[in-house]
Amino acid sequence: MNADEARQVLARAEPVVSAAQAEAAVERLAGEINARLAGDFPLVLAIMGGAVVFAGQLLPRLAFPLEFGAIAATRYGNTTSGAQIDWRLAPGESVRGRTVRVLDDILDEGITLAAVRDRLLELGAARVLTAVFADKALGRA
């Protein structure tokens, strides 16, 4: 996609939810994460680039100590479909024995997020929890 195509997409875009609804959803999710991880010291990993805004809204609301990092895994590249996972920034060995909370922007088919989870578990994460900003209602299992 080039700049002109991106402008055309943006011009045709319609909000799915209001800013207030999005804010309320992030606040609710932060409350759930705070309750679940209050006694832990998790590693929070944002999947770049989509989750950067979500992470920026969520992290200030988390009321426990954490480490933050980023990973970059995509099936899409500059397209809207794909199959092979492309690890642009792979998770490091720092996940061994840790609770890892993965943040992503949109849950589509779940294939990329499942691959991220599997890789973190292979690297020795004690448990992997996910949080997504938006869930496309695709009727998936």
CATH of the domain at 124: 3.40.50.2020
| Chain Cα centroid distance, residue 111 | 13
29: Cβ contacts below 8 Å, ≥ 6 apart = 58, 131
Q: What angle do CA 109, 101, 29 make, to 5 degrees?
A: 80
Indicate the SS3 state at residue 46. strand
Express each pLDDT in 61-70 by its tens digit.
999 999 999 9
In a domain, residue 15? The reply is yes
**Overall domain count for the chain:** 1
| pTM across the whole model | 0.84
E-state strands within 67-135: 67-74, 86-89, 99-107, 127-135
Residue 68: per-residue pLDDT: 94
- pLDDT, position 120: 94
Which residue range is the domain that position 46 belongs to?
3-135
Would residue 140 count as lying in a domain? no
Considering the domain boundaries, does residue 57 fall inside one? yes
Sequence length of the chain is 141
Q: Which residues of the chain have pLDDT under 50?
A: none
Domain membership flag for residue 141:
no
Residue with tokens 């045709």: 12
